[in-house]
């Protein structure tokens, strides 16, 4: 579908997880692109967003930086879980996290990510006949809270073991490959329960990414909705019109809302640029309504 330039992006990543830009560089890019609302949604960590709010991200702070006043930051995180053996991502948002519930959840997720990264490393070492891969991956991602699969891919690319980042995922790290580790994650219902207790508003991230049949995806949407999920992420880069329309209909059938964003990582994917994704679906409540925020207007082009 046609990409639209928006003034809001609710899905992007920094070097705190598997993004290429530091939190300060991401904020600078958002300001250059004219964004008004931004949610940094790093994988299972709040470190990137917290660096911005605290002012440690290159001087950008909601309270002390004048340029930052043009940009409203939503607290966000992309949480990993498992549903019927499928690795599923849930976007969690809040105007601000109350109490310590989310920090406790993030702490558990961080431990799981370390376990997963170590398992991936051991599996790849065996497959490639190499040693100390984890140390080399850490060198690729010194700012990451925990190394993720893109960091393993970047390391393999740098060592000439694969021809591209896509090749690394196709051969070693993508769904069903030896580096696709699911055993560490909590179940979908467990994660939703913990996140909602922490005050989060929840959206199922990029549903078409999981490559489920229509029947299985409907069952996932049913489970997500019945267990307390609020929204479906519909407008994402690279989605075709048929899948877009299908998700719109499924959201309406369940009276669910929608979220939207670029899933920007900064690794050069031509389909993902900050603030650019398809139009927001008409007639479906925006996740911003749960967050008591107005919907900024989109700009064509």
Q: What is the mean pLDDT of residues 108-114?
A: 91
Same domain, yes or no: 115 and 249 = no
Same domain, yes or no: 274 and 220 = yes
Q: What is the mean pLDDT of residues 32-53?
A: 91
Pairing mode, strands 231-235 and 257-260: parallel
**Cβ neighbours around 53 below 10 Å, total:** 19
Give the pLDDT score at 59.
44
Same domain, yes or no: 66 and 113 = no
Same domain, yes or no: 45 and 148 = no
Residue 238 belongs to some domain of the structure: yes
Same domain, yes or no: 62 and 201 = yes
Residue 97 belongs to some domain of the structure: yes
* Triad 232, 221, 286: Cα angle to 5°: 20
Same domain, yes or no: 67 and 196 = yes
Residue 89 belongs to some domain of the structure: yes
288 has pLDDT over 80 = yes
Q: Show which of 173, 199, 220 is a domain's final residue.
A: 173
Residue 182 belongs to some domain of the structure: no
> In total, how many domains does the chain have?
2
> 42-46, 143-147, 173-177: which range is least confident on average?
143-147
Same domain, yes or no: 76 and 12 = yes
Q: Show which of 173, 195, 224 is a domain's final residue.
A: 173
Residue 122 belongs to some domain of the structure: yes
Same domain, yes or no: 68 and 167 = no
Q: Which CATH number covers residue 149?
A: 1.10.150
Question: Given pLDDT bands bounded at 50, 70 and 90, which one contains residue 84?
Answer: very high
The 3-class SS string of the chain reads CCCEECCEEEEECCCCCCCCCCHHHHHHHHHHCCCCEEEECCECCCHHHHHHHHCCECCECCCCCCHHHHCEEEEEEEEEEEECCEEEEEEEEECCCCCCHHHHHHHHHHHHHHHHHHHHHHHHHHHHCCCCHHHHHHHHCCCCCCCCHHHHHHHHHHCCCCCCHHHHHHHHHCCCCCCCCCCCCCEHHHHHHHHHHCCCEEEECCHHHHCCCHHHHHHHHHHHHHCCCCEEEEECCCCCHHHHHHHHHHHHHCCCEEEECCCECCCCCCCCECCEECCCCCCCCEHHHHCCCCCCCCECC
Residue 181 belongs to some domain of the structure: no
Same domain, yes or no: 56 and 195 = yes
Q: Show which of 120, 148, 173 is a domain's final residue.
A: 173
Residue 180 belongs to some domain of the structure: no
Residue pair 256/230 in contact (Cβ under 8 Å)? The answer is: yes
Range of the domain at 18: 4-101+187-290
Same domain, yes or no: 153 and 11 = no
Q: Which CATH number covers residue 21?
A: 3.20.20.140
Residue pair 239/1 in contact (Cβ under 8 Å)? The answer is: yes
Residue 208 belongs to some domain of the structure: yes
Among 89, 87, 84, residue whose Cα is nearest residue 216: 84
Same domain, yes or no: 209 and 167 = no
Same domain, yes or no: 96 and 203 = yes
Q: Which two tokens stand for residue 301?
A: 């082009």
66 has pLDDT over 70 = no
pLDDT in tens, 135-168: 999 888 787 778 888 899 999 999 999 999 889 9
Highest mean pLDDT among 52-66, 152-166, 218-232, 285-299: 218-232
């Amino acid at each position: 579908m046609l990409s639209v330039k928006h003034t809001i992006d609710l899905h992007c990543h920094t070097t705190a997880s598997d993004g290429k830009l530091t939190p300060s560089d991401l904020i600078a890019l958002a300001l250059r692109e004219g964004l008004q609302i931004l949610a940094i949604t790093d994988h299972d960590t709040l470190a990137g967003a917290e660096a911005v709010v605290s002012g440690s991200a290159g001087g950008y702070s909601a309270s002390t930086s004048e340029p930052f006043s043009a940009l409203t930051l939503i607290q966000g995180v992309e949480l990993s879980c498992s549903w019927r053996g499928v690795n599923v991502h849930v976007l969690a948002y809040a105007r601000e996290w109350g109490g310590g519930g989310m920090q406790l959840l993030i702490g558990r997720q961080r431990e799981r990510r370390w376990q997963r990264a170590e398992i991936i490393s051991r599996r790849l070492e065996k497959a490639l006949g190499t040693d100390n891969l984890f140390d080399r991956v850490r060198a690729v991602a010194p700012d990451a809270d925990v190394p993720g699969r893109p960091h393993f891919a970047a390391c393999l690319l740098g060592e000439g073991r694969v021809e591209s980042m896509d090749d690394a995922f196709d051969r070693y790290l993508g769904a069903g490959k030896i580096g696709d580790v699911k055993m560490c994650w909590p179940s979908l219902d467990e994660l939703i329960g913990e996140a909602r207790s922490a005050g989060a508003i929840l959206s199922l991230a990029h549903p078409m990414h999981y490559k489920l049949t229509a029947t299985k995806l409907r069952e996932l949407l049913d489970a997500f909705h019945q267990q307390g999920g609020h929204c479906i992420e519909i407008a994402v880069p690279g989605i075709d019109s048929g899948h877009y329309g299908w998700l719109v209909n499924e959201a309406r059938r369940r009276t669910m809302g929608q979220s939207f964003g670029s899933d920007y990582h900064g690794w050069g994917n031509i389909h993902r640029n900050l603030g650019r994704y398809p139009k927001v679906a008409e007639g479906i409540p925006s996740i911003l309504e749960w967050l008591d925020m107005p919907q900024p207007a989109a700009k064509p082009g």
